[in-house]
A = this chain, B = another copy of it.
Amino acid sequence: MATTSTATGLQLRSTVKKEGILELSLATIATPEPKPEEVIVRIDASPINPSDQGLLFGGADMSTARVSGTAQHPVVMATIPPAAMKAVAGRVDQSLPVGNEGAGVVVRAGASPTAQALIGKTVAILGGAMYAQYRCIKAVQCLVLPPGTTPAQGASCFVNPLTALGMVATMRAEGHTALVHTAAASNLGQMLNKICLEDRVGLVNIVRKAEHVAVLKGIGATHVCNSSAPTFMDDLTEALVATGATVAFDAIGGGRLAGHILTAMEAAANRTAKEYSRYGSTVHKQVYIYGGLDRGPTEFNRTFGMAWGIGGWLLTPFLQKIGFEAAQKLRERVAAGITTTFASTYSKEVSLADALKLEEIAVYGRQATGEKYLITPQQGLR
């Protein structure tokens, strides 16, 4: 049967056209012959992370999306607002593959012993172009999963687990002793809670809904503050006093939450101040924005003295900064705990073609907590 051959495979492509149109499609591409140090991984599972969606949607207004093509080869077109075109100017008219990470089975390997040793192994890989049936990659980039781990279990080995570990490592490296996390009931947030429990690190969780408070309390979280509650600022300040957290990692980005966190940190710091300081507390308070669940502007009132910072935080530069060996230790911790500490849950599994259905885009495009999708590129094709 042609569809079980590894000679060609489907790959999801995203193109920003210079006319201000986004085009999503499935290309059939030849699977390359692996070089000696490379392997071919049959991708069985790849998550749709928020960090994938920027590249996928290219700033398009997906409420304008229309589908053409066939069921097996759908083509989605959507309008990109003129203001958003500036941010994607660098990718105009390039057909780009998508998908940061995934997991599957090594089905072919180059001649080197390192590559050959991986044949038949279930591995997790990172590096883009994972929304595809096959991915050629260097053998050293494969994280071998513990025996018995399924590709679905191993699909999210990198982005969320390493980001959560990176937050705790950044906290320590910059002299903080506890941390704050927003949108905290997410897959990533739940991992962070488990890591902090294991490592005995204080964590203040911020969520927007009562049911998310319950989710986090259910996995052992001590401090969960609901930003929709009228007592939020007081609750947050008390949690900051209790933990001493002076760094926050914010998935939301837009709106006033980052500023509110700094304001509460300042109030917590001043709780113990001995005398009036005209420039506010001398404790450095930091918020790192690592996501953009709210794409609107960030706004704050600077009611938190002068010792503060807000900045971007990204996994790749963090991993480069700590170096290969330190990063490898983090990866091994993830592999060992992939069905426990670093387990992910998905609300739905979709094929590559189904991932381009408008009704599915409408759901996973919301990036709502508890609505994470897993692409299973072999589904419906064999």
Q: Chain A interface residue count: which class?
A: 35 or more
Q: Quick one: which of A308-344 are within 8 Å of B by CB?
A: 308-314, 316-317
Which of A116-124, A179-187, A292-300, A363-371 is the contact stretch?
A: A292-300
Q: Is A28 an interface residue (CB 8 A)?
A: no
User: In the assembly, what is the distance between CA of A94 and CA of B307, in Å?
Assistant: 24
Q: Is the CB of A306 within 8 A of B312?
A: yes
The answer to whether A312 and B307 touch across the interface, beta carbons within 8 angstroms, is yes
**Chain B residues, CB < 8 A from A279:** 314, 316
- Over the window 272-285 of chain A, the binary record of Cβ atoms lying under 8 Å from chain B Cβ atoms (1 yes, 0 no) is 01011111001000
With A54-B278, A90-B275, A309-B312 in contact, is A299–B302 under 8 Å at CB?
no
State the CA gap A94–B279 with chains docked (Å). Answer: 16
Q: Report chain B residues within 8 Å CB of A278.
A: 54-55, 91
Give how many copies assemble into the complex.
Answer: 2
Q: How far is the CA of A134 from the CA of B39 in the complex (A)?
A: 80
Please name the residue on chain B nearest to A89 by beta carbon. Answer: B270
Contact B302 A300, beta carbon cutoff 8 Å: no
Residues of chain B within 8 A (CB-CB) of A259 are 297
Q: Which residue of B lies closest to A52 (CB)?
A: B278
User: Which residue on chain B has the smallest CB distance to residue A299?
Assistant: B299
Min Cβ gap A254→B in Å is 8
The answer to whether A87 has its CB under 8 Å from any CB of chain B is yes
CB distance from A99 to the nearest CB of B (A): 12
Residues of B within 8 A of A302 (CB): 253-254, 289, 292, 297-298, 312
Quick check: is A4 within 8 A (CB to CB) of the other chain? Answer: no
Q: Which of B87, B270, B275 contacts A303 (CB 8 A)?
A: B87
User: Which B residues touch A87, using CB under 8 A?
Assistant: 303
Cα A54 to Cα B279 in complex, Å, equals 9
A306–B313 touching, CB < 8 Å: yes
What are 5 inter-chain pairs, A to B, with CB distance below 8 A? A253-B302, A279-B316, A306-B312, A308-B312, A311-B311
A residues with a Cβ closer than 8 A to B are: 54-55, 86-87, 90-91, 94, 96, 253-254, 259, 270, 273, 275-279, 282, 289-290, 292, 297-303, 305-314, 316-317
